[in-house]
Amino acid sequence: MFDAARIGYAGSARLRPIELAPWVLALLVYFLAPNYLPLGAYVVIIILFALSLDLILGYGGIVTLGHAAYFGFGAYAAGVFAIRVSGDPLLGLVVAAVAAGLLGFATGAVILRTHGLALLMLTLAIASIVFEIANKWTDVTGGADGLHSVPIQPVLGLFRFDMFGKTAFLYCLIVLAVGWWLVRTIVHSPFGVSLAGTRENDVRMHAIGAPVYWRRLWAYTISATLAGVAGGLLTQTTQFVGLSVLGFERSGELLVMLVLGGVRRIYGAFVGPLVFIVAQDYLAKQSPEYWTLGIGVLLIFIVRFARGGLLGLADRARAKLWGKKG
Amino acid sequence: MLETRALCKSFGALTVADNIEFGLAAGARHALIGPNGAGKTTFINMLTGRLEPTTGTIVLGGEDITRLAQAARVKRGLGRTFQINTLFKDLTVLDNVALGIAERLGVAGRLWRPASAYKTVRDEAMAQLESLGIGGDAAARVVDLPYGKQRLVEIAIALGLKPKVLLLDEPAAGVPSHESERILEVLDRLPAEIAILIIEHDMDLVFRFAQRITVLVQGQVLVEGTPDEIAADRRVHEVYLGEGHGHG
């Protein structure tokens, strides 16, 4: 149901009914739980961010601890553009996408010349550099104060961002749908299989004549672009951008959320952030002081008992129930 | 077809390839043998471009490819298999072969249509697997395959590239003897027009398969000749002293 076995030259890219579940659920939230729309919009944004990571980490095998660099860069690009040029949200998203994509291409060109631990260190280094630039370049970024009251016009000149977060939620949801369609298409494409090949064995990829470096770099660029769009959405829906969009914690948390949901499944990127953020929200209300303990216990449980994340767990449960091979 | 001229490789003071002059004719069945550490794999790695020679040139089909990257050599018809299985373990057997075919057909970087829409790639991969007798395993993941079949996948991937020259690095390495017969059959049925260089320790296999044999010792070509000449050569016996392979 959630597995990746349908990818490849003998696979099937046809949409399965279960894949509509996230969208149905989102619409249910929209109509039945209007109080949760601001939180919902945030979850949707982080899902898009996690999806961008799944493309390179899950499918490409590129482990990074610096993906917030692109999320944050997109967030700032959208913010600066809105303040200085235009408050049109769609134009702002394009700017965020292009900015993060270019940064992804430029930094990826350096990062992807390395592998493993060296690569991980470089992603950290680049995220730190971008963070420090945002921190020090106060004229543009507002430094530690960030950018407040970022103007945002109605979407397409028609749909105002209301105080209940209805427009914001649907806006984010539609952008996520586009991102999801893009990642899903790529993962099923020959490029996607090729990317999986670079993950599985780059020595063999070279031996079949594949441009390994370029495949990885394009995937990285696309991923950075999507991360930038997610960042842009956060700026636009909150009308604020601050240094936290670039912090190490954001990269780390993202990785945790993806692992929680399950990597290399597309929908792990949906389940992880949803569970993580909702649990965070709930636990923080129950116990403002000790909520991180709850998150910690949840993670230990997942890592110890649920390899493959929550969706991996779901797969195994299903296999047990139906007696099918997992 | 494939030629090396005065090929040398040293790592510091250690010379692992010393002035190797080697030629592979079109459609050749050539074996490269030699004791462990003779520099056979180094030689193959220089041919494929994984290692850069210190000096000397490599010529493929009349073109100097010494400075070309691996991928460019593959595009010019140089395929290889690996001594140790170098496969896409978590992918299906079919995808393992299809990846190379897609690369050869220039569609491997396509983004928009699903891979399954590329029927020519899939059909060709399937045909390749069937010709090696492993069509029934197409949907299995490579990790779930027994080792002997994995060795066949190694060969299938290389054949999918439609190479003019194929370098087989110990194709039967690690395969139990009752299964190596299967690999030999596959080797015997390889298309005649492909020039094949095989590195192998199994002398039975070498003498049955090869029409010419080159013996490499300490990075140097000791002797080259037909199997009969090699079997009768005293120097070769000295090198393989005590290894007694029953061929003379």
Report DSSP letters for A85-149, one per residue: T---HHHHHHHHHHHHHHHHHHHHHHHTTS-HHHHHHHHHHHHHHHHHHHHH-HHHH-GGG-B-S
Considering just the CA atoms, what is the radius of gyration of chain A in Å?
Answer: 19
pLDDT of residue A294: 82
Residues of B in contact with A200 (CB under 8 A): 87-91
Q: Cβ of A209 and B161 within 8 Å? A: yes
**Mean pLDDT confidence for B94-108:** 97
Q: Kindly state whether A162 is in contact with chain B, defined as any CB-CB distance less than 8 angstroms.
A: no
pLDDT of residue A4: 53
For residue range A156-170, list pLDDT tens digits in order: 988 999 888 999 999
For residue range A110-123, list pLDDT tens digits in order: 999 999 999 999 99
d(CA A250, CA A258): 12
The answer on pLDDT for A305 being more than 90 is: no
- The total of structural domains in chain A comes to 1
The answer on pLDDT for B242 being more than 70 is: no
Q: Cβ of B98 and A9 within 8 Å? A: yes
Residues of B in contact with A185 (CB under 8 A): 111-112, 114
**Mean pLDDT confidence for B89-105:** 96
- CB-based contact A231:A127 (threshold 8 Å): no
Q: Cβ of A215 and B111 within 8 Å? A: no
Between A298 and A126, name the one with better pLDDT.
A126
d(CA A270, CA A13): 19
Q: Quickly state the pLDDT bin for B78 (edges 50, 70, 90).
A: very high
**Mean pLDDT confidence for B194-222:** 92
What range defines the domain where residue B153 resides? 2-239
d(CA B190, CA B158): 11
**Mean pLDDT confidence for B134-160:** 95
pTM of the model: 0.92
Residue A114, domain member (yes or no): yes
The answer on pLDDT for A324 being more than 70 is: no
pLDDT of residue B13: 87
pLDDT of residue A296: 84
Q: Quickly state the pLDDT bin for B246 (edges 50, 70, 90).
A: very low
Residues of B in contact with A217 (CB under 8 A): none
Residue B248, domain member (yes or no): no
Residue A41, domain member (yes or no): yes
What range defines the domain where residue A112 resides? 17-247
d(CA B66, CA A275): 55
pLDDT of residue A129: 97
Residues of A in contact with B103 (CB under 8 A): 194, 208-210
Interface test with B, best of A15, A198, A208 (most B CBs within 10 A): A208
Residue B147, domain member (yes or no): yes
A75-79, A213-217, B240-244: least confidently modelled range: B240-244
- CB-based contact B81:B169 (threshold 8 Å): yes
- Rounded to a whole number of angstroms, the distance from the CA of A190 to the nearest CA of chain B is 5
Q: Kindly state whether A209 is in contact with chain B, defined as any CB-CB distance less than 8 angstroms.
A: yes
Q: Quickly state the pLDDT bin for A320 (edges 50, 70, 90).
A: confident
d(CA A273, CA A276): 5
- Half-sphere CA count of B11, side-chain side, radius 13 A: 5
pLDDT of residue A252: 93
Residue B247, domain member (yes or no): no
Residue A178, domain member (yes or no): yes
Q: Quickly state the pLDDT bin for A220 (edges 50, 70, 90).
A: very high
Closest-approach residue (CA) in chain B for A192: B111
Q: Which residue has the tokens 């059959």?
A: B185
Least CB-CB distance to A8: which of B115, B158, B161? B115
The answer on pLDDT for B140 being more than 80 is: yes
CATH number, domain of B193, equals 3.40.50.300
**Mean pLDDT confidence for A185-195:** 97
pLDDT of residue A326: 40
A96-110, A199-213, A263-277, B170-184: least confidently modelled range: B170-184
- The total of structural domains in chain B comes to 1
Least CB-CB distance to A194: which of B99, B117, B157? B99
Q: Enumerate the β-bridge partners of residue B17.
A: B9
Q: Cβ of B102 and A207 within 8 Å? A: no
- Rounded to a whole number of angstroms, the distance from the CA of A14 to the nearest CA of chain B is 9
Q: Quickly state the pLDDT bin for A2 (edges 50, 70, 90).
A: very low
State what percent of residues in chain A have pLDDT above 70: 97
For residue range B10-65, list pLDDT tens digits in order: 998 888 899 999 999 999 999 999 988 888 989 999 999 999 999 999 999 999 99
Residues of B in contact with A59 (CB under 8 A): none
To the nearest whole number, what is the mean pLDDT of chain A? Answer: 93
Query: From the CB of residue A46, how many other CB atoms can be counted at a distance below 10 Å?
Result: 25
Q: Quickly state the pLDDT bin for B113 (edges 50, 70, 90).
A: very high
Residue A58, domain member (yes or no): yes
pLDDT of residue B36: 84
Residue B104, domain member (yes or no): yes
d(CA A6, CA A92): 36
Residue B213, domain member (yes or no): yes
Q: Quickly state the pLDDT bin for A5 (edges 50, 70, 90).
A: low
- Rounded to a whole number of angstroms, the distance from the CA of B111 to the nearest CA of chain A is 5
Residue A23's contacts (CB-CB under 8 Å, 6 or more residues apart) are A173, A177
Residue A293, domain member (yes or no): no
pLDDT of residue A3: 53
Residue B31, domain member (yes or no): yes
